[in-house]
Amino acid sequence: MANYNGPVCRICRREGVKLFLKGTRCMTDKCAIERRSYPPGQHGQGRSRVTDYSAQLREKQKLRRMYGLQERQFRGIFKRAERQGGVTGENLLRLLEQRLDNVVYRIGFALSRRQARQLVNHGHILLNGKKADIPSLTTSVGDVITVKPKSHELLAIKSALEVTEGRGASNWIEVDPGAFRGTINALPTKDDIGAPVNEQVIVELYSR
């Protein structure tokens, strides 16, 4: 998580939903949300007044933290979404999903987006046969994402593939685990996000 070194489970509790920041733990009864569904802190179980602004802010923070982005990065992607034609909220979700680190996570090379970002940063990932070490790269339909041959034996990658092979890949990505390869066959949609996010209130927040 960008600029955050504390327990990531506290983030999910703060947002009130599973953001799948801790890999397989999020899928078990050890998940913090399953054990303590209220926000962390001394007043976590108290009532707080919800305003339109606070609801919009929480939704934005939820999505930003889900992808592990700093505010500056998230706002930059939002501005790109605004410049594109169509519905800004849907554009935002699509651009987030098209990030290289997210695609590496969706393919199953990593158990979390944080781990996927590390794989990219350390040069273990190839994009169309060429080294790609920038997590924020925007992928496109037809792109092929693979693991560098020398990295095929990395325990982190092999373990992630074993776990994620059972859950199935995203509809917009074709995965060949044996070849350590994923191919983007379509643009992602809101249904591919896998978390309850109301993108329209985020648009309203930035339009204030």
Answer yes or no: is pLDDT of 37 > 80: no
Q: Are 21 and 12 in contact (CB under 8 A)?
A: yes
- Please state which of the ranges 24-33, 97-106, 170-179 shows the lowest mean pLDDT: 24-33
Q: Of residues 5 and 139, which shows the higher confidence score? A: 139
Alpha helices in 48-192 (DSSP H): 52-66, 71-83, 88-97, 100-107, 113-121, 155-167
Per-residue pLDDT tens digits for 174-207: 999 999 999 999 999 888 887 789 999 999 999 9
Answer yes or no: is pLDDT of 29 > 90: no
In the chain, which residues fall in CATH 1.10.1050.10? Answer: 9-96+195-206
Q: Are 204 and 56 in contact (CB under 8 A)?
A: yes
In the chain, which residues fall in CATH 3.10.290.10? Answer: 108-184
Q: What is the spatial distance between Cα 138 and Cα 100, in angstroms, rounded to a whole number?
A: 6
Question: What pLDDT was estimated at residue 175?
Answer: 95
Question: What pLDDT was estimated at residue 42?
Answer: 54
For residue 114, CA distances in Å to 55, 66, 130, 168, 198 come to: 26, 10, 22, 20, 23
The predicted model gives 56-65 an average pLDDT of 94
Q: Return the structure tokens found at 144.
A: 């092929």
Question: What pLDDT was estimated at residue 1?
Answer: 45
Question: What pLDDT was estimated at residue 170?
Answer: 84
Q: Regarding the domain delimited by 108-184, which CATH topology (the fold level of the hierarchy) does it fall under?
A: 3.10.290
Q: Are 96 and 63 in contact (CB under 8 A)?
A: yes
The predicted model gives 8-18 an average pLDDT of 58
Helix 199-206 / helix 71-83 crossing angle, nearest 10 deg: 100
Burial of 81 per CB tally in 10 Å (0-12, 13-18, 19+):
buried
Q: What is the spatial distance between Cα 208 and Cα 206, in angstroms, rounded to a whole number?
A: 6
Kindly state the DSSP code that residue 99 receives in the 8-state scheme. Answer: B
Q: Regarding the domain delimited by 9-96+195-206, which CATH topology (the fold level of the hierarchy) does it fall under?
A: Ribosomal Protein S4 Delta 41; Chain A, domain 1 (1.10.1050)
The predicted model gives 77-95 an average pLDDT of 96
DSSP secondary structure of 43-73: TTTS-----HHHHHHHHHHHHHHHTT--HHH
